[in-house]
């Protein structure tokens, strides 16, 4: 089944790169981050080109549940504990600014936008929500502590973020894309200094933005240690509940809910890529339990890059390269993160200061518990004597029988049964 966002969409087509061209700025990746970066550069009159390996918006952007919100789980209490109140406030301000800019775009490019409150609920831990609410009030966020009774199970409490938004991202982004300089089916398989190599052409650039999900240049930035990937599963159903808000469980293993037209969109059953999880089987089972008369009309999935501390990496790709930039580690909150990335990276390309550059600095401290977990997982899978092996860094691949694909538990690359690439950081298929 296809994503619900594809329904009624007219797909623009773009040419494939043939020959050698030049650009002041090269953007690699045609998801929401790449498209918004390209639009920002175009609006500023900066010479750019965007290369997409397949078709634009055909990857994780179409797998989103498309909530435009500052309510990224319990990020504010977590960030306050790690970095302090001012850092948490900066994160709120950056995402609020990004949210408001997306609202403006939604007015210019009609996309079924609706203003909705977002509820972050807990089934059994109201103390976590009280801590989150306390920090939200300290940083000046518009939030409330409340109860929720609409969901198909009991909840202990919820934090409400008022006047957030939901939309159909493809309706907006395809309308934006037709105004941009884009090449599709132009897979960058190698970067050498200031040249990107595709199968039938090259781009020589002054600056490059890596917006292709997981950074694939391994010799710089340590992203293979600073990131892991997580898969999330969603379904659109009919004959279910109509909720007036958007709902997200504070627990990563919980469910999210939002309505769209005649559908209820429910996400759940996620797990780290390459690890056994409930997937679509678990999601479908629970949907039938929650809504016995429901009809599942669409099923779709997304894969998210998760940072060490829950804050995206947006800025210089490496301290060794002042003309390489990156946007990654959106931690399941790609809508506002992509908009924040477009603003910040456009300023960096121009050499202009930006108030959020330190907040998203990719080279902040890596000393977090998750770093040890990432390294440990990679070590185990590198030493596992099995085939096939991932073409990225050689980890043992695992077979996902639900989706019938090979997955890398180390860094999240995914391949078809025949060995073709589905998700990076791998840049070539596997030989078995």
Per-residue tens of pLDDT for the chain, all 432 residues: 689 999 989 899 999 999 999 999 999 999 999 999 999 999 999 999 999 999 999 989 999 999 999 999 999 999 999 999 999 999 999 999 999 999 999 999 999 999 999 999 999 999 999 999 999 999 999 999 999 999 999 999 999 999 999 999 999 999 999 999 999 999 999 999 999 999 999 999 999 999 999 999 999 999 999 999 999 999 999 999 999 999 999 998 899 999 999 999 999 988 899 887 778 999 999 999 999 999 999 999 999 999 999 999 999 999 999 999 999 999 999 999 999 999 999 999 999 999 999 999 999 999 999 999 999 989 988 888 888 999 999 999 999 998 999 999 999 999 999 999 999 999 999 975
CB 266 within 8 A of CB 258: no
Question: What pLDDT sits at residue 274?
Answer: 87
Q: Give the model's pLDDT for residue 146.
A: 96
- CA 190 from chain centre, in angstroms, equals 23
pLDDT at 275: 85
Interstrand relation of 48-51 and 182-183 (parallel, antiparallel or unpaired):
parallel
CATH of domain 369-423: 2.102.10.10
Q: Where are the domains of the chain?
A: 4-64+171-224+309-350, 115-166+227-306, 369-423
H/E run at residue 268:
strand 263-272
Integer CA distances (angstroms), 353 to 99, 344, 356, 381, in order: 21, 9, 9, 42
CATH number (3.30.70.1880, 3.30.9.10, 2.40.50.140, 3.40.50.2300) of 115-166+227-306 reads 3.30.9.10
How far is the C-alpha of 350 from the C-alpha of 348, rounded, in Å? 5
Instruction: Say which CATH superfamily domain 4-64+171-224+309-350 falls into.
Output: FAD/NAD(P)-binding domain (3.50.50.60)
133-167 CB burial, b ≥16 within 10 A, e <16: bebbeebebebebeebeebeeebbbbbbbeebbbb
């Amino acid at each position: 089944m296809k994503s619900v966002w594809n329904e009624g969409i007219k797909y623009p087509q773009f040419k494939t790169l043939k020959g050698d061209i030049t650009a002041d700025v090269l953007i690699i990746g045609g998801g929401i981050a790449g498209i918004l970066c390209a639009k920002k550069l175009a609006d500023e009159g900066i010479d750019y080109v965007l290369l997409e390996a397949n078709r634009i918006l055909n990857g994780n952007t179409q797998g989103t549940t498309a909530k435009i919100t500052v309510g990224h789980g319990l990020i504010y209490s977590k960030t306050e504990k790690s970095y302090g109140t001012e850092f948490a406030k900066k994160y709120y301000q950056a995402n609020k600014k990004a949210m408001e800019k997306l609202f403006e775009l939604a007015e210019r490019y009609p996309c079924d936008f609706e203003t909705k409150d977002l509820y972050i609920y807990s089934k059994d831990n109201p103390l976590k929500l009280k801590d989150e609410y306390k920090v939200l009030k300290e940083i000046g966020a518009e939030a409330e502590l409340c109860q929720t009774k609409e969901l198909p199970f009991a909840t202990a409490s919820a934090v409400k973020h008022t006047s957030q938004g939901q939309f159909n991202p493809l309706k907006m982004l395809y309308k934006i894309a037709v105004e941009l300089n884009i090449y599709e089916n132009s897979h960058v398989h190698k970067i050498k200094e200031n040249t990107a190599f595709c199968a039938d052409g090259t781009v020589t650039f002054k600056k490059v933005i890596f917006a292709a999900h997981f950074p694939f240049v391994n010799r710089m930035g340590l992203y293979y240690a600073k990131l892991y990937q997580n898969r999330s599963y969603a379904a659109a159903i009919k004959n279910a509940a109509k909720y007036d808000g958007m709902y997200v469980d504070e627990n990563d293993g919980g469910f999210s809910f939002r309505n769209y037209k005649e559908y209820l969109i429910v996400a759940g059953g996620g797990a780290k890529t390459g690890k056994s999880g409930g997937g679509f089987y678990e999601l479908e089972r629970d949907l039938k339990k929650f809504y016995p008369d429901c009809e599942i009309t669409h099923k779709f999935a997304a894969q998210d890059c998760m940072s060490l501390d829950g804050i995206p990496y947006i800025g210089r790709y490496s301290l060794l390269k002042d003309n390489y930039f990156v946007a990654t580690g959106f931690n399941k909150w790609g809508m506002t993160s992509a908009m924040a990335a477009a603003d910040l990276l456009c300023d960096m390309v121009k050499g202009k200061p930006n108030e959020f550059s330190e907040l998203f600095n990719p080279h902040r401290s890596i000393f977090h518990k998750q770093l040890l977990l990432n390294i440990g997982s990679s070590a185990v899978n590198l030493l596992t004597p099995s085939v096939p092996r991932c073409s990225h860094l050689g980890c043992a691949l695992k077979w996902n029988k639900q989706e019938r694909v090979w997955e890398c538990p180390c860094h999240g690359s995914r391949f078809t049964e025949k060995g073709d690439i589905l998700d990076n950081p791998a840049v070539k298929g596997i030989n078995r």
